Structure 1
């Protein structure tokens, strides 16, 4: 399909870096994300719906402004395993209050020991079809209206690192660690990376849990992927039959 008008974006810094992103000059056009996703195997470019921090000048941050880290400053997702990353996050996620009865109740049946990766679930729909539908929903509802981005990456999870996204940097120093976790969600739950904001991440999910019991171990992974303690049970209930996951970092 013909691309709408756009520009190559380089990480902003003291030296001239290679472009890491093609970005449309205006809002993404209807159906564009799905069409480019379908071409990914041929082009090697993963589409993203990219929305800015806010209105006015803030809409330029981080994508137009190039507030992105250059490749030399980051590792690669292949350097990490989701199991190791999540286990570490579990250990330092603020469980110093495990002796508090309220904390114990909110995290039951788990304790300070990492419970391990949630089991993979069977697909309930085609991951690409679910992703295409989620993309159109985000295109219509996100504010400011998202632009269309293209990143050279083998999959959506790796695009987060390849583009040099820094939204969760208050939470995790190396975005490749988060990419490794998201890659594991792609494999276990049919997730696809659809949209990214200044500090937001939007995924589609083709293998959501059907029950609260199936959702609990997935929720354990979610609560340690944020920078705030989230009630495990509340999170698990929100995941049942959910075809989309969204994350936000302060």
Structure 2
């Protein structure tokens, strides 16, 4: 077995030296089991369920090359993060461009919507847009410090929509790359290569100051420090969300317009769920 990555090694052997002031509770490494004869450690995860303020407590770990994330254990089992994470299945986010990915996904989702014979109002679902890709939304205006916003969103999620999350630390340079770094396969029914979605997350990180807060079996939670402030701005962002995760609209809203107005204007939390 190979030696754990340097950030994880130091975290385990000298947590105070790696991150001054960090108190590491009981936990363990999650090992990649599908990548070959010498599996790599992917992340460290705490044994106990996280408290509301736990995410913020572990944010300083980023100075040691580690990013905190909440892993939600929906079924009371650890199967999805202990044996089903496989970074060997994904490419490198560096090789993808966010707009190209979104344009490709938009065309696919819009076409599937328009071809739905059971939906008489298919055209209304994507209105005011058509099958043509509308392009990237303009960057948002920062409303708060991204890390403070992230901590606030994490605190609001724990014990509410996330009932049993564990805090995990992942050796990754930027939060947007977390899903690809651990080989998360939550959107696999829609997108097989999560690195393509990470390219979009990078773009959102740059334009809207998002942070990856939590991963579940098929759910992704983000904090947003520069959300759209008007319906017009939100519509442009909603088009990207429809491409990124059509189920957000298909399974919860009548239209992109309704989604933009209800879920995006001024909202510091974006969540995605793939059926």
TM-score between the two structures when normalised by the length of structure 1:
0.91
Going from structure 1 to structure 2, the CA distance change for 1:97 and 1:179 (only over 3 Å counts) comes to: closer
Counterpart of 1:221 (choices 210, 225, 240) is: 240
Provide the aligned length of Structure 1 versus Structure 2: 244
**More moved, 97-106 vs 82-91:** 97-106
Q: Are 2:266 and 1:241 equivalent residues in the alignment?
A: yes
Give yes or no for the alignment of 1:192 onto 2:211.
yes
Q: Which runs of 5+ in 2 are unaligned?
A: 1-21
CA RMSD, 1 decimal: 1.8
Cα pair distance change 1:233/1:147, threshold 3 Å: same
Deviations 1:25-75 (A, max 9, x none): 1112453321322331x21101001012323xxx31312x22101x33321
Bigger drift between 95-104 and 232-241 goes to 95-104
Question: In structure 2, which of residues 70, 86, 100 is the aligned counterpart of residue 84 of structure 1?
Answer: 100
Q: Are residues 138 and 61 of structure 1, via their aligned partners in 2, closer, same or farther at CA, if it must alter by over 3 Å?
A: farther
Partners of 1:169 and 1:53 lie apart in 2 by 18
Find the aligned partners of 1:146 and 1:139 in 2 and give their Cα distance.
7
Once structures 1 and 2 are overlaid, which stretch shifts more, 174-183 or 9-18?
A: 9-18
Report the alpha carbon displacement of residue 192 of structure 1 after superposing the two structures with TM: 0.7
Q: 1:22 aligns with which of 35, 41, 44?
A: 44
Q: Residue 188 of structure 2: SS of its match in structure 1?
A: coil
Structure 2 matches for 1:52-201, cutoff 5 A? Answer: 52-55=73-76, 59-63=77-81, 65-69=82-86, 71-96=87-112, 98=114, 102-201=121-220
TM-superposed CA distance for 1:222, in Å, is: 0.6
Cα distance, 1:96 vs structure 2: 4.8
Q: Matched residue of 2:176: which SS?
A: helix
Correspondent of 2:66 among 25, 40, 45: 45
Q: Name the CA shift for 1:97/1:208 in 2 (closer, same or farther; >3 Å).
A: closer
Query: 1 CA distance for matches of 2:23 and 2:228?
Result: 38
Deviations 1:107-147 (A, max 9, x none): 22211110000000110111111001111112232444100
Unaligned runs of 5+ in 1: none
Q: TM-score scaled by structure 2?
A: 0.83
Per-residue CA distance 1:78-132 (angstroms, 9 max, x = gap)? 1111100000001111525548872223322211110000000110111111001
Deviation at 1:225, TM superposition (A): 1.5
